[in-house]
Structure 1
Amino acid sequence: MVGRYVVIHLPGDEKFLTLAEVGVYGYLAGNRAVGAAAIQSSTFADWFAEKAIDSNRGFQQLNTTCTSTLNESNPWWRLDLLGVYRVREVVITNRNDSYAEQINGVEIRIGNSLENNGSNNPICAVISTIPAGESYNFSCNGMVGRYMIIRIPGDREILSLCEVEVYGSLAGNLLL
């Protein structure tokens, strides 16, 4: 559940609610991608990697708020979270035009390795499809890593993202 307040309520009349202590545990709220560092395998025109973490899902002005690689083999987009996180969830927003199918087959990988541009890290999810202009959530169940890599395996592919959000908490004193 997401929220700012915790309310403990005892329904009924003339009842007393007594609490000795209340503890609330959960994940830190907030998009961990904001303030992180993004790069991609190549860049089409001015569709830079950083546009996927600008907190703008790109519904109005696609060309100024989304990323795109060139047409290439195994294009990728990588986020350095600048710390090791337990990633609970990743939210991906697809472009809102006639090229929305370019997201099909995308892998979301999370880990600490930069070997093979991070493509050897474990897979959190594979995106079968996201409709044009939609945002889909992918559960990563606390996968641990500093890097999140989004890639499309195959020849002659284009990777385009309008927004990437990462939710989770610092993983503590894990070594890189």
Structure 2
Amino acid sequence: MDKLIHLILLSGLVCIPGSLAENLAFKGTATQSSTWSGWPAQLAIDGVRKVPSCFATTSESTPWWRLDLLDYYDISTVTITARSDCCSFQTNGAEIRIGNSLENNGNNNPVCAVISNILLGQPISFSCHGMKGRYVNVVRFGFSSFLFLCEVEVYEVYRQKTFLRLKFSSSGDVAAESDEILHQLQSALASHISDFNLSWTQLPKKEEEQPKKEEEQEEDRGSCVKHL
């Protein structure tokens, strides 16, 4: 006869470790090579993706914008939003660079992506595959022009650990079957969640039956007398 194992979740809400996205740009400060007509660097990290909440440099050789995240992160994605009214050429060809160096104002850091074919007012995301860095630059090398963007968003994928408390009711030895239980639970959840990992913080153990208190024993004896 197969062993019978029932899994009882003692909480009404199930949370599984997964990926959460946070816009790191909100934590940082921004600067740029120059400022055109009251369009400062900080407007690119205010959460507003449209004109007039944008930054712009003057027309210059190699215009750049830099975000200081104030800490070191593994960056997964940078999302750029260009102005919505015109002039996408002021963004196309710009490079997104990520790293920890301020050499050449941070513009010598490794390249995540080159911005091209950006649509007016439409955010476009570039995968940086976990590049490590404190500084995120947008720079146009080889151009004598403006650099104009409405929003720069920076995302790090991180893992959140969630602990579940489980209770088992079994005709077999739950501790001995712990690996199989974990495997079955992971298989069942995998059809709904693609990126997660399960592990025991404490192996299941048999719950010893606690002796009844004297008051409970008296109640049991009284109950037996009533049924005689």
CA distance in 2, matches of 1:89, 1:149: 13
Bigger Rg, structure 1 or 2? 2
Q: Counterpart of 2:141 in 1: which secondary structure? A: coil
1:130-157 Cα distance to aligned partner (Å, 9 max, x none): 1111100100000000000100111312
How far has the Cα of 1:98 moved from its partner? 2.1
1:24 maps to: 17
2:27 maps to: 35
* TM-score scaled by length of structure 1: 0.79
Q: Which amino acid aligns with 2:154?
A: V
Checking the alignment, whether the CA contact within 8 Å between 1:31 and 1:166 is kept in structure 2 is yes
Checking the alignment, whether the CA contact within 8 Å between 1:33 and 1:165 is kept in structure 2 is yes
1:81 maps to: 69
1:87-126 pair list within 5 angstroms: 87-126=75-114
Spell out structure 1 runs of 4+ moving beyond 4 A: 16-23
**Alpha carbon RMSD of aligned pairs, Å?**
2.0
1:54-83 Cα distance to aligned partner (Å, 9 max, x none): 00001xxx2x30110000011000000000
Structure 1 residues 25, 65: closer, same or farther in 2, change over 3 A? same
Checking the alignment, whether the CA contact within 8 Å between 1:103 and 1:129 is kept in structure 2 is no
Aligned length: 150
Q: Which amino acid aligns with 2:56?
A: S
CA distance in 1, matches of 2:7, 2:148: 53
Q: Counterpart of 1:65 in 2: which secondary structure? A: coil
Structure 2 unaligned spans of 5+:
1-5, 159-228
Structure 1 residues 96, 29: closer, same or farther in 2, change over 3 A? same
Q: Counterpart of 1:30 in 2: which secondary structure? A: strand
Structure 1 unaligned spans of 5+:
1-15, 171-176
1:158 maps to: 146
Checking the alignment, whether the CA contact within 8 Å between 1:85 and 1:169 is kept in structure 2 is no
* TM-score scaled by length of structure 2: 0.62
Q: Is the helix fraction higher in 1 or 2?
A: 2
1:10 maps to: none
2:44 maps to: 52
Q: Counterpart of 2:39 in 1: which secondary structure? A: coil
The percent of aligned pairs where both chains have the same amino acid is 51
